[in-house]
């Protein structure tokens, strides 16, 4: 293994481990809040679902590549099938849970007078848990065609079908890549398009409200105005990360087989989106930040006592 590959692998492992820890901290903080208050805000429930899905997604990537590095990976049909199923379900659930989170804040914050928005605004707290359940079921069901296509390819490989014509073999592989790409778009595009629509509506509403506040004479340092600017910045950051994640995953599926270095670079970019957004959530939320500090303090005290 050359130096560049080793460095990229180290960055990927560090990013995955840190992402898993950060997302588990978000889940643990919300569980502690639920234990104390005996209830949990619907926004925290959505965020916990997203953090759980992200932590599992990053953990699967870490375990899979670690097993390859340690030569523990056995190239068996069952193992590959399980990896494909779990990875695609978690990828789809990440997109859908992020979409539900964005739709929730869009409905709660915006003040559009459309009938559908008014209906959602009055029912969103009741509908959000059902949206989460539906997102999980859609993620599982939409991943099945891609898994079945992968299964058919593996059956063909196990049958030892010999194709002497290299041109025909290349056409068959190109056709498989094309089918996988179409199936991947069917999985990924619906939640991403809904996310874009909700995010753009939310940004437009926040920006128009901010302009009205400035034109009405509110000072630039007004707390309300600063909170709106902060919300615009947070939503814009979330949008940029989701666009990077979506475009990189689509490019990875369309590109097919690439070099090891390019594959690691794409994986680092893919993992950076959930990692950075979860880190930003903790940094921008004072309650999560205090919980994180207290958890690290408790862990450090336990480690010191164990050493003594």
| pTM of model > 0.95 | no
Helix, strand, coil in percent for the chain, rounding step 5: 90, 0, 10
Crossing angle of helices 3-37 and 42-69, in 10° steps, is 150
> What sign for the dihedral angle of Cα 228, 229, 230, 234?
positive
What are the distances in angstroms from CA 51 to CA 24, 44, 92, 265, 286? 7, 10, 14, 23, 17
Per-residue pLDDT, averaged over 191-202, amounts to 90
| pLDDT value, residue 93 | 93
pLDDT for 122 beyond 50:
yes
Reported confidence tier of residue 59, pLDDT bands at 50, 70, 90: very high
- Report d(CA 115, CA 121) in Å as an integer: 10
Q: 100 phi and psi, to 5 degrees?
A: -60, -40
Q: How high does pLDDT run on average in the chain?
A: 80
Three-state secondary structure string covering 76-119: CHHHHHHHHHHHHHHHHHHHHHHHHHHHHHHHHHCCCCCHHHHH
- Report d(CA 191, CA 95) in Å as an integer: 6
CATH number of 3-307: 1.20.1070.10
HSE value, Cβ hemisphere, 13 Å, CA-based, for 133: 5
**Torsion, CA 249, CA 102, CA 84, CA 146, rounded to 10:** -80
For residue 60, give the DSSP letter.
H
pLDDT for 34 beyond 90:
no
Element (H, E) at 160: none
| pLDDT value, residue 170 | 46
Per-residue pLDDT, averaged over 259-285, amounts to 88
Per-residue pLDDT, averaged over 104-122, amounts to 82
Of residues 187 and 232, the one with the higher pLDDT is 187
Whether 99 and 131 have beta carbons less than 8 Å apart is answered as: no
Per-residue pLDDT, averaged over 204-222, amounts to 68
HSE value, Cβ hemisphere, 13 Å, CA-based, for 122: 6
Of residues 256 and 63, the one with the higher pLDDT is 63
């Amino acid at each position: 293994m050359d130096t560049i590959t080793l460095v990229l692998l180290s960055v990927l492992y560090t990013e995955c481990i840190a992402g898993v820890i950060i997302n588990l901290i978000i889940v643990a903080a919300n569980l502690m809040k639920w234990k104390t208050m005996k209830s949990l805000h619907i926004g925290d429930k959505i965020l916990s679902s997203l953090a759980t899905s992200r932590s599992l997604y990053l953990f699967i990537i870490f375990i899979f590549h670690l097993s390859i590095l340690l030569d523990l990976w056995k190239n068996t049909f069952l193992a590959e099938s399980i990896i494909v199923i779990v990875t695609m379900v978690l990828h789809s659930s990440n997109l859908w849970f992020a979409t539900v989170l964005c739709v929730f804040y869009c409905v709660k914050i915006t003040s559009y007078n459309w009938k559908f928005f008014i209906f959602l605004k009055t029912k969103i707290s009741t509908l959000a848990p059902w949206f989460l359940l539906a997102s999980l079921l859609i993620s599982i069901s939409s991943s099945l065609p891609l898994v079945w296509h992968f299964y058919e390819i593996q059956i063909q490989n196990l049958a030892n079908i010999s194709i002497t014509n290299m041109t025909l073999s290349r056409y068959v592989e190109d056709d498989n890549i094309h089918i996988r790409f179409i199936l991947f778009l069917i999985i990924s595009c619906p939640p991403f398009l809904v996310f874009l629509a909700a995010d753009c509506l939310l940004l437009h509403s926040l920006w128009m409200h901010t302009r009205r506040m400035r034109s009405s004479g509110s000072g630039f340092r007004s707390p309300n105005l600063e909170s709106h600017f902060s919300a615009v910045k947070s939503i814009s950051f979330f949008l940029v990360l989701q666009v990077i994640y979506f475009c990189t995953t689509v490019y990875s599926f369309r590109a097919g087989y690439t070099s090891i270095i390019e594959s690691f670079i794409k994986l680092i970019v893919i993992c950076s989106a959930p990692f950075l957004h979860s880190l930003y959530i903790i940094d921008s939320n004072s309650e999560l930040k205090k919980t994180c500090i207290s958890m690290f303090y408790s862990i450090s005290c336990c480690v010191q006592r164990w050493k003594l």
